[in-house]
Structure 1
């Protein structure tokens, strides 16, 4: 089928709807929250139940964001296979932390499937009822990770259902797969109709009519036809006939499927009402509200997303993969990447404006999507009001509007994009997100600014960063710009040295010498915000902290990692690794000092694309140094003799230029090798066997 003209906007709306539902339902997700308790504590559900500083990561978003990367990493020019998605599970998840619920082998379906993959059980056997039992196979995860497959196949519910089933088969089976097919087909169908009944029927067409899943959908339909104005009658019916007492396990798909269909019918095509009903009904609230939010959000489009649900999201979510860089997710950028993937799958040429609007390796915001803010914030909301402006920007529709309300001499307002997150900004530790900065010292920041002044004196903007360790606002005065009226100007600067720490804000300071009698009043517009170029930075472990069970700015995969005396210390009883840095870093030099204290395998990791794909160079047994390639298993590429000893400090350096890899120890070249397997990625450290090691003096010159 041809890609519809409003494809990108519909995907954007669907993704916003999904995250609104997740955020609404998350506070009352635990099974202790009955519908009665929800109503007793919160009354009528008609808005977010809790005000989060920053909404933490959630498995209902992690899965849709990362499991479709199977199409980027493996199934690039062929049809998707279950094992492709299984590799995405293993590569982007850190064992035992983040991504999904690690509730125990034989308890959590996802945890069990992950362990099955490690045991050598391939997908789809890893999620089959034969392997795990029917109850485990039919828990809710089959349908909560599949929204993106529906968006990749607009108006093609069969293809969406097929891909969703393939993906879900890594961990689920039977009705677990039917739920995946049904929800994905509904999302795909929502591109071309605004009739909820039609969407549900098209979803039902993709699953067996005699399945339990189809039966609960039909049962809800009948109750709705009898009581179209009272969803509580339907919810009471579900409790009596399809409740958790009849479908055991932690969170079975069938009762929650009933709530999803109930919310779709009684929501009557209204996004807010649909996710509110799904939340009020209890059971797995964030999963159900997220799924129906995806469907209805896609159906109603951007204009159908209420501001009360959209504004707090501010175009930003965080996730909890192994890549801290990818975990800071700008929603417009992500949906552009997804839409481009959709064009590829449809074998259609994407519009030039969309291709130009997406820069995978950079931070690039052009505000081209209606209402988009790209997560921008201000330190002075009393006098600076940030909002989207969909009129023409610098070259394309869309820009960020900053309404300046009576600033005068002495007022300073920061407008910024948040490039790094700290634990103190979150209300909870849910799904343990970890972060690597989106901006580094040495990179260039560029943006277009336009002043529309009503009154007041000169307006000056000074680029700045905030140091996340000292909390100091570092203004880059040499790039200060006096704004001209009614003219687009370029503000550009190089991010200064953060001295072993990082910038967690990148933006500009607004100020004016305007007097109290003629205060500054007007609008400032921002467009084409861009962070790009080579980075030059250090990591000083005395300026880092342990947050979300990881040492900033790393994400750990297995092992115990901590800080001691200004160093990072690793200890593990089997292999372990830790990752940080720009996910798309290509060429450069990485240096680190390390002291091996136990074991015989201690290495510097580079060009890492996940826990299962990277290079590592370092000690590889007594008297040896190796370059090794990890690709779901560790393969030596070159080994040379090198006498090293425990307790001694060594400086490792790896230089990569295209396929050429040069490794040195203490300034002495040890080997040169050529390999083209991995062309970009993160860096970090690894112990390929049990052992312990300390790390310090990390330098990156990309």
Structure 2
């Protein structure tokens, strides 16, 4: 058996560890933060350096989350190729924004590789030293996107290294690829290794013994053997012999490899100490602490991650791909997704509990993983305290415990999940995340709540969602909880009339009086969002944030808000995407006013930038349906007289393999194609042109 019994929990620990390391190292990543300055300002680091409202997107999390989607999109039932990962790069990345560092061609390795891919230069040549030069090929990016390859192959470091190398070859070469092999192999080895020395030894077996990467690893191992108690002495040794001054480029992999191995060794079995040392060593701090955070999380287990590193993450991160829906990540759900994928790759049947616990097309939170909170929070921490409960659950052990501390009539607190984010929630705009709401009008929210009242009157729970435009809490029917029982609560998300929902949960109140205040606990389990969404997007109620017109993510061109509409301007292309990434059958419609140019089209069932359908005006007095799959195939073309500055109501309906397109309620064509069964929707202006979009509506069927 390849898959360990605690596989899911270790994957969860590894991914949490990665994000703790990223969050710790991020504030001191820029080159201004030298090793000496970090020491001068922060001294001995033993906790996060900054308090973030919501931690913004980071390339070190983007890559691991999205590049493995090659296993869903292309390599479903065969071995992975480098070309598969190259397609994932293009399909999930918006040109020039988000995902990774756009530092310029010839400066940023990833930017350079992306431009190569756009030109049709295939991996591994797109990332080769022959094409880009040795300096770019050996920057650190080769090893910073590979965590998930290690998590997918538990106990199989050679396989993890092989897949990581294929993925890294999209953008890197030589030592850049050896770093990818080493880090992924260490993560895979950590599932069944006895200690960090074994992890490192098994990782080194996957790279050439005569490589520079192996040489620096050997010298750090030797130095640690001779000086086991002083990591700063080892860091000084690295500075003298392997420092940035000896390796060209912005962020070379070799000095950072030394810092990673140093931190793993001098961490001495402590998760916290490991990521702290990686951060104190300087150089590429978030990358280094993130990578070895994954290794340490898997090796030492979920219990090794201290609360002060885990609680601020609160099981949730944001990303910056083209899918605003996927950019809001619930870490326990992603861990389950990885564990299911890892089981499939191993040819093993996943445990029944895991299969039932993950629902790809719905939000489903069951709190079975140790310490999991699924991102729930409260606005009233003075009276409401949230934490994971390992012992109590509705069907399986695990729930969210809500401690109520002596509430009286007139007091109210919210417990909620965030299905959407606004710019004001962030401290910065790093990697420009874009969001599509994960909960929409028309859907059904259900949950189970157990009441354990100790004193006072019964608790009243009022489900609600929050309209982010008006900031109004839209309250549903109050529920008086039955004490000592699991209460089943279900409601349909109300119409927000074109605005986005940014909170969903319930309010807690009690009519208790001052002499016998409400005191006790609630337990939340099986929180689920299901059913068919039916909503509109009113641009008068949206905002321009993170260089996007929310809730859209834009690829190329320019999109802005203008007089209650979204204006899309293009020199070659302006494509905008939104909606549930997993939505199957739906009708999407919008008012489209072509201002200039000849190609204005609705997007449907988009799996990404390079995979979707589009239908609409396609040249002078023509309407077409295109299949976009890393190329354009025209499925339908019919005559239709249209003109600029007039407004047309476009409607695309996808049901099964049938795609219907209407203009102003007149059916223009119907076609059959089964290439894409689900995906986002949106709008494109192609070639030089401009269009106005308004009154968008989506109804799932």
Q: TM-score range by the shorter chain?
A: over 0.9
Q: Is the 8 A contact 1:194 1:269 kept in 2?
A: no
Q: Residue 354 of structure 2 aligns with which residue?
A: 354
| Equivalent-residue separation in structure 2 for 1:490 and 1:209 (angstroms) | 60
Q: Residue 75 of structure 1 aligns with which residue?
A: 75
Q: Specify which of 633, 636, 646 is matched with residue 634 of structure 2.
A: 636
CA deviation vs aligned residue, 1:150-193 (integer Å, no higher than 9, x gap): 01000000001000001100000000010000001100010112
How many angstroms does 1:576 deviate by?
2.1
How many angstroms does 1:39 deviate by?
1.8
Instruction: Find out whether 1:119 has 2:157 as its counterpart.
Output: no
SS in 1 for 2:398: strand
Q: State the TM-score, normalizing by the size of structure 1.
A: 0.99
Q: Residue 429 of structure 1 aligns with which residue?
A: 429
Q: Residue 580 of structure 1 aligns with which residue?
A: 578
Q: Is the 8 A contact 2:544 2:560 kept in 1?
A: yes
Q: Specify which of 486, 507, 510 is matched with residue 512 of structure 1.
A: 510
| Equivalent-residue separation in structure 2 for 1:291 and 1:638 (angstroms) | 48
The runs of 5 or more residues in structure 1 that have no matched partner are none
| Equivalent-residue separation in structure 1 for 2:225 and 2:459 (angstroms) | 62
The root-mean-square deviation of aligned C-alpha atoms, in Å, is 0.7
Q: Is the 8 A contact 1:71 1:80 kept in 2?
A: yes
Q: Residue 590 of structure 1 aligns with which residue?
A: 588
Q: Residue 700 of structure 1 aligns with which residue?
A: 698
CA deviation vs aligned residue, 1:115-150 (integer Å, no higher than 9, x gap): 001111101100011111111100000000000000
SS in 2 for 1:517: helix
| Equivalent-residue separation in structure 2 for 1:123 and 1:597 (angstroms) | 39
How many angstroms does 1:485 deviate by?
1.2
Q: Residue 217 of structure 1 aligns with which residue?
A: 217
CA deviation vs aligned residue, 1:208-242 (integer Å, no higher than 9, x gap): 11000000000101111111111111101101100
SS in 2 for 1:84: helix
| Equivalent-residue separation in structure 2 for 1:269 and 1:695 (angstroms) | 56
Instruction: Find out whether 1:489 has 2:487 as its counterpart.
Output: yes
How many angstroms does 1:661 deviate by?
1.1
Q: Residue 659 of structure 2 aligns with which residue?
A: 661
Q: Specify which of 546, 566, 574 is matched with residue 568 of structure 1.
A: 566
How many angstroms does 1:446 deviate by?
0.1
Q: Residue 331 of structure 1 aligns with which residue?
A: 331
Q: Residue 681 of structure 1 aligns with which residue?
A: 679
Q: Residue 129 of structure 1 aligns with which residue?
A: 129
Runs of 4+ in 1 over 4 A off after TM superposition: none
SS in 2 for 1:245: helix
How many angstroms does 1:44 deviate by?
1.6
Q: Is the 8 A contact 2:594 2:644 kept in 1?
A: yes
Q: Specify which of 600, 607, 610 is matched with residue 609 of structure 1.
A: 607
For 1:415-426, what aligned pairs fall within 5 Å after superposition? Answer: 415-426=415-426
CA deviation vs aligned residue, 1:421-474 (integer Å, no higher than 9, x gap): 000000000000000001000000000000011100121111001100000111
Q: Residue 550 of structure 2 aligns with which residue?
A: 552
CA deviation vs aligned residue, 1:620-642 (integer Å, no higher than 9, x gap): 00010001111011211000000
Q: State the TM-score, normalizing by the size of structure 2.
A: 0.99
How many angstroms does 1:49 deviate by?
0.2
For 1:1-16, what aligned pairs fall within 5 Å after superposition? Answer: 2-16=2-16
Q: Residue 33 of structure 2 aligns with which residue?
A: 33
How many angstroms does 1:194 deviate by?
3.6
| Equivalent-residue separation in structure 2 for 1:32 and 1:460 (angstroms) | 53
Q: Residue 291 of structure 1 aligns with which residue?
A: 291
Q: Residue 524 of structure 2 aligns with which residue?
A: 526
How many angstroms does 1:564 deviate by?
0.5
How many angstroms does 1:548 deviate by?
0.3
SS in 1 for 2:515: coil
For 1:252-401, what aligned pairs fall within 5 Å after superposition? Answer: 252-401=252-401
CA deviation vs aligned residue, 1:535-571 (integer Å, no higher than 9, x gap): 1111000111100000010000000100010000010
SS in 2 for 1:187: helix
Q: Residue 600 of structure 1 aligns with which residue?
A: 598
